[in-house]
Amino acid sequence: MKPKELLRLIEAGENSRIEFKQRFSDFHKIAKEIIAFANSQGGYVIFGIDDDRSIYGVMSEKSEAELFEQTVREYCQPAPNYKLHFVGLFDKEIVVAEILESKNKPHRIQDYKLELDPNTAEVYIRVNDKSIPAGKEMIKILQAESSRSELNKYKIGKDEKLVFDFLQEVEFITAKDLIARANISSRRASRTLIKLVRAGLLNIHTKDNGENYFSSRK
């Protein structure tokens, strides 16, 4: 990466693909950012830059790189792919960690379990300039995308029709809304909404607390 490219990233500010860190702070916090980018569209964690875009630089490129590599190796499951760039900028050293969008989603904080448990796994995604928890529905959709599983002989049933009727009245629907409207279990409500997203009929959104909500795809 050349200095001009790095300057463009800094000027853009933090967003869905860019996160600034003045220095390496905490393994769990950095792992959260790495996982969120890998589960989304990829992005950059830039060490040596503050949130206000001030350029501080790092004390040691080697130290920052080693801490980052340790985070990927020990705190991310599975370990995502990344590239490290070392860029000199105004006599300061900047470390840019480029996290590639994964083909093996969802990534999670290491929990030493053989299988991902949607009820306990710490899975994160990137929304605007934040790395936030992924809800159960989002986790299931990420799993389906990675496995490239297809909906076979999918038909619109009464539950799906209730979703569309609800969205004629309001802009968004949640699993809780569907449970109340259709008097069905939470599992069935989630499954219905997930299938509609996978069929390309709904969009899925995530609040800062990880709760998923859905809207019609126009």
Tokens standing for 109?
A: 């904080």
Between helices 158-169 and 186-198, what is the axis angle to 10°? 80
How do residues 3-49 score in pLDDT, each as one tens digit? 999 999 999 999 999 999 999 989 999 999 999 999 999 999 999 99
Measured CA to CA, the distance from residue 135 to residue 212 in angstroms comes to 6
pLDDT band at 52 (very low <50, low <70, confident <90, very high): very high
> What is the radius of gyration, based on Cα positions, of the chain?
20
133 compared with 218, residue with greater pLDDT: 133
pLDDT of residue 46: 97
Alpha-carbon separation of residue 27 from 30, 35, 60, 159, 169 (angstroms)? 5, 12, 17, 43, 45
C-beta of residue 137 within 8 angstroms of C-beta of residue 210: no
What is residue 6's predicted lDDT score, i.e. its pLDDT?
96
Check whether 147 has a pLDDT greater than 80: no
Question: Using 50, 70 and 90 to split pLDDT, how confident is the model at 144?
Answer: confident
The pLDDT of residue 95 is: 97
Domains of the chain listed by start with CATH number: 3-133 (3.30.950.30), 141-216 (1.10.10.10)
Q: Token digits for 115?
A: 């299988």
Q: At what angle do helices 61-75 and 27-39 cross, to 10 degrees?
A: 70
Give residue for tokens 């990466």. Answer: 1
DSSP string computed for 59-126 = S-HHHHHHHHHHHHHHHEESPPPEEEEEEEETTEEEEEEEEPPPSSPPPEE----SS--TTT---EEE
